[in-house]
Structure 1
Amino acid sequence: MLATPLVTLQRDVEGGGDLGRLVEIVAEHEVVEVVVGMPRTLAGRHGPAAEAAESYGTALAERIAPVPVVYSDERLTTVTASRMLSKRGVRGKKQRAVVDQAAAVEILQAWLDSRGNTTREELS
């Protein structure tokens, strides 16, 4: 399987509009599992950002049940995405506009690769 970007959502910490849109996307695309990036420190520890990601994942899981929410290590994904974009000639403002989306693709692709050849039927 190959991860491809679908849409970039802006975080809406106060209103939760991003969660609502994710719920719509999960239903619209018949998603069977959601992967949330877990921002651990380089030493592998959980910091405030990881706690926020866990809280977000829990809130999402409550709204999309029975679709499972899993977490995937996102260490260095922004660095990897920035390098990949630079190699493709995307720099400056253009890179800043898409680097989060590219990092999300990196997170999902790493998770898919770690799963091997699991089929959609096996996930259901």
Structure 2
Amino acid sequence: MDVGSVRVGVALSDPGGVLATPLVTLDHDAGAGTDLDRLVALVDEHEVVEVVVGLPRTLAGRDGPAAQTARDYAAALTQRLGGRAVPVVLSDERLTTVAATRALSDRGVKGRKQRRVIDQAAAVGILQGYLDARRARDAAPGPAGDL
């Protein structure tokens, strides 16, 4: 997911963990937490096995205020998930919103329409990057002597 100050973009992968697709954009309701309640419902509805939250680090690799917001959001979601065995992990999301904005503009989606889907597109970029990195890591040969 892409956590913003106004909206939270949510993407979902296929059961095999190969392809990320947009799911929904929620209003970020920091006070009441209705977005967190909706996310818990989506985790249950889609039988999610892991939640990936984008971590917006600076280009220098440092955490700024937005990264702290993402960390706090991930912690709050973990708490809301309660006893469910669904880990919430953070994944570097540098430039995903920029890439999503550019891709939507290239497709002719601009202005108000773009604002409605940019968070979902960024969430797709975050999740797809995470899935690709995990697949590459899993395919890498282990230490000598491993089969």
- Matched pairs, number: 118
Query: Going by fraction, where is strand more abundant, 1 or 2?
Result: 2
- Residue 100 of structure 2 aligns with which residue? 81
CA displacement, residues 57-82 of structure 1 (integer Å, 9 cap, x when unaligned):
01111222320001111111111001
- In 2, distance between residues paired with 1:20 and 1:93? 27
SS for the counterpart of 1:24 is helix
1:121 maps to what in 2? none
1:24 matched to 2:41? The reply is yes
From the CA coordinates, give the structure whose radius of gyration is larger: 2
Post-superposition shift, 1:6? Answer: 1.1
Structure with more helix by fraction: 1
Partners of 2:122 and 2:110 in 1: CA distance: 15
Give the letter aligned to residue 24 of structure 2: V
Point out where structure 2 has 5 or more consecutive residues left out of the alignment. 1-17, 139-147
- The 4+ residue runs of structure 1 with deviation greater than 2 A are none
Query: Which residues in structure 2 correspond to 1:97-112 (within 5 Å)?
Result: 97-112=116-131
Q: Which of the numbers 32, 55, 59 marks the counterpart of 1:15?
A: 32
> Secondary structure, in 3 states, of the residue corresponding to 1:8?
strand
1:45 counterpart = 2:62: yes
Gaps of 5+ in 1: 119-124
Give the RMSD, CA atoms, in angstroms.
Answer: 1.3
**Does the Cα contact within 8 Å between 2:55 and 2:71 map onto a contact in 1?**
yes
In structure 1, how many angstroms separate the alpha carbons of the residues matched to 2:64 and 2:102? 25
Given residue 16 of structure 1, which amino acid in structure 2 is its aligned partner? Answer: G
In structure 1, what is the Cα distance between the partners aligned to 2:31 and 2:48?
A: 26
